[in-house]
Amino acid sequence: MPKRSAIPNHEKGYFRAVLGFVAPVVVFFTIFQIYPLMKNVWLSFTTIKGGFTLNNYYQILTSQSFWQSTWITVSFSLISVSIEMLIGFVFALLLNEEFHGRKALRTVFLIPWALPTAIMATGWKFLLQHSYGPFPWLLYWLHLAKSPPYFLSTPNLAFISIIMADAWKTVPFCALLLLAGLQAIPKDLYEAMQVDGAGWFFQLRKLTIPLMIPAIIVTLMFRFLQAFGVFDLIWVLTSGGPGNATMALSPFIYQQTFNWLDVRAGAATSVMMAIYILVLVVIVWTTRSYIGRRYAQ
Amino acid sequence: MHRLEFKKVYKRFGEKVIAVNNANFFVDEGEFVTLLGPSGCGKTTTLRLIAGLDRTSEGEILINDKIINALSPSERDIAMVFQSYALYPHMNVFENIAIPLQVRKMSKSDVKTRVGSIAQMLGISTLLDRKPRELSGGQRQRVAIGRALVREPNLFLLDEPLANLDAILRHRMRGELKALFHSVDGTTIYVTHDQEEALAMSDKIVVMNYGVIQQIGAPEEIYKRPVNKFVAVFVGNPQINIIEAKNAEDMSKLFSSSKVNALEKLTHDGKVEIGIRPENIVLGKGNIFGKVTLIEPMGANLLVSVETALNSEKIKVKLFISNTVKISEGDDVNFSIKESELLFFLNEKRVDVEG
Ligand SMILES: Nc1ncnc2c1ncn2[C@@H]1O[C@H](COP(=O)(O)OP(=O)(O)O)[C@@H](O)[C@H]1O
Ligand SMILES: [Mg+2]
């Protein structure tokens, strides 16, 4: 006869059931997230022979490419997200108006966002190609440029191209998130303001924007973290070039790891990037709780 | 002060719904007019048409004899208290009340004194830096009223401002609101589904049902001389007793012979009903006999249901007596009806009956 155990029988079964449900997630996370993460951190602190070293960090922190990549990533994220938020907000305001065919437009509007990045980036590459791309030639024919510009092989233009393509893809996403925020604002607040004599701009300033702060912060945070890790768009469109003009951190890590096979430098760069993101999240969270208090409803 | 007029106003939503159906009425300068009717009868829609938040499907709305159909809400100089109060959730009480003044670009110091004096008047001076979510229902309602009063508009619209309050507060605010709006002497249009509120507060009542105005008149007139059965039943608590006059034998048990003759004649034209307000039935006197079936104490009075057998059917009437009278369910009683106060309806419309 089995002895009385600390856990009653039915609870044992319950415990087993819980284990059964939790185990797949734990296994999945361990194999695909925790293990690679640990391995990556471990790699970044070791030599090829397996000894501890800080040399990998020394190497990247003193290299110009790392700091240039950091700068490109930060400026890309700041510029593209600001543009996307601004345009997205305008589109959200438009799509929030009552008009014929609004539902259809809202659906069509989302297509760029629904496209896989690699595919839309290939499309943009075609549009921007110097030799046959419609975009450079259009500018030329419209006399906006003296000759068809080399979008993808001029450093500044390549950077601008990436921002344009990123905006094209993610404006709908920003607009959608912001639209959800707009629609959560009760209609009668606007009506009350109109009756009180307020015009469109007054309503925007006193009602829409303050009430949208939470939605704006969420969208900003989401987009900024996404932009910070940008990879596929750049890889397809410019591969980080010309030179290193569009080499953001993610493509840089890829290049170090898989093109130059300098796994340890890549690992150290990844860890640095993780630290950046951590700092970012902390900043966002502290400002969020501050602003949250200010605009709490 | 504004004078408002509706001329043949219709408001349709889609094909089926006619929320306002040929509304004609006017509201004189400084009048306190109540739109009264059951839920869904078109009261809010009527207010929204006045405010300009909805556009009429047909007809004209005039303020001071000028057609205002084309004016936007912000051009109409009307203040409205929404049923939901529509307070700005991110602003404190001061900012909420100050908004109409800020729209008008009033100087900061003037805004401060105006909001201060309105808050004083409404007894919310101590709440000025609270957010709406930190207020009780009654306090929110005061803020909403403050926001309407602060810019001294010519026309006030109030959409069921007391509906969300508990019974005690509702009764207290009823008196306060009446006094308040008399003292600020603006023209006021007040919406409610509560007939007691309408009777207690209004100079004039507009009774609506299914988008159609049933009657316009002073509270006393609405109560004593309702134009049809709907108004008679809707106004008055407890409800008026309605008895259908089917045959002379039955009627002669209740009424004098001259009334019975007149009613008899009337039944040739259609369905005849008699309305008797509970207060017009006198218990313990008279020669109508019945049995008490239910007693509902209502404080100072008892509401007594009495069942009486006529020749062909049994009828039930409700009446009031003082709570000092000793009476219990099952008692046999006699009563009489004040014939001068009866209301007669032919096919639901009120008619006068001689005799
Ligand atoms: N925007 C709208 N669309 C369609 N029907 C509406 C709309 N607003 C009101 N109605 C309808 O019009 C009628 C009157 O509504 P309302 O004026 O809100 O009534 P009340 O305020 O008297 O309760 C109702 O049948 C309601 O369903
Ligand atoms: Mg309503």
Cβ of B41 closer than 6 Å to ligand 1, yes or no, is: yes
pLDDT reported for residue A138: 81
What's the CA gap between B210 and A25, in Å, rounded?
59
Which residue segments constitute the domains of chain B, with CATH numbers given? 4-228 (3.40.50.300), 241-351 (2.40.50.140)
**Which three-class secondary structure string do you get for chain B?**
CCCEEEEEEEEEECCCEEEEEEEEEEECCCCEEEEECCCCCCHHHHHHHHHCCCCCCEEEEEECCEECCCCCHHHCCEEEECCCCCCCCCCCHHHHHHHHHHHCCCCHHHHHHHHHHHHHHHCCHHHCCCCHHHCCHHHHHHHHHHHHHCCCCCEEEEECCCCCCCHHHHHHHHHHHHHHHHHCCCEEEEEECCHHHHHHHCCEEEEEECCEEEEEECHHHHHHCCCEHHHHHHCCCCCCEEEECCCHHHHHCCCCHHHHHHHHHHHHHCCEEEEECHHHEEEEEEEEEEEEEEEEEECCEEEEEEEEECCCCEEEEEEEEECCCCCCCCCEEEEEECHHHCEEEECCEEECCCC
Shortest alpha-carbon distance between residue B71 and chain A (Å) = 11
Average confidence (pLDDT) over A134-159: 82
Collapsed DSSP state (helix, strand, coil) of residue A62: coil
pLDDT for A208-261, tens place per residue?
999 998 899 889 888 998 999 999 999 999 988 788 889 999 999 999 889 888
Interface test with B, best of A189, A196, A205, A206 (most B CBs within 10 A): A196
Tokens 């959608």 — which residue? A176
Average confidence (pLDDT) over B126-148: 93
Average confidence (pLDDT) over B11-16: 92
- From A120, A124, A116, select the one nearest A161 (Cα to Cα): A124
Which residue segments constitute the domains of chain A, with CATH numbers given? 1-44 (no CATH), 63-296 (1.10.3720.10)
At residue B262 the predicted structure's pLDDT band, cuts being 50, 70 and 90, is confident
Average confidence (pLDDT) over B32-43: 95
Q: What is the pTM of this model?
A: 0.83
Q: Please answer yes or no on whether A202 and B82 come within 8 Å at the CB atom.
A: no
What's the CA gap between B223 and B235, in Å, rounded?
6
pLDDT reported for residue B355: 67
**What 8-state DSSP symbol labels residue A39?**
H
pLDDT for A154-207, tens place per residue?
888 899 999 999 999 999 999 999 999 999 999 999 999 999 999 999 999 999
Q: Which residue of B has its CA nearest to A190?
A: B86
Contact status, residue B349 vs residue B228, Cβ threshold 8 Å: yes
Amino acid at B182: H
Collapsed DSSP state (helix, strand, coil) of residue A89: helix
Q: Which residue of B has its CA nearest to A200?
A: B74
Name which of A189, A197, A210 is nearest B103 (Cβ-Cβ). Answer: A197
* Percent of chain A at pLDDT exceeding 70: 95
Name which of A198, A295, A296 is nearest B74 (Cβ-Cβ). Answer: A198
**A187 CB within 8 Å of a chain B CB:** no
Give the mean pLDDT of chain B: 92
**What is the C-alpha R_g of chain B?**
24
Collapsed DSSP state (helix, strand, coil) of residue A155: helix
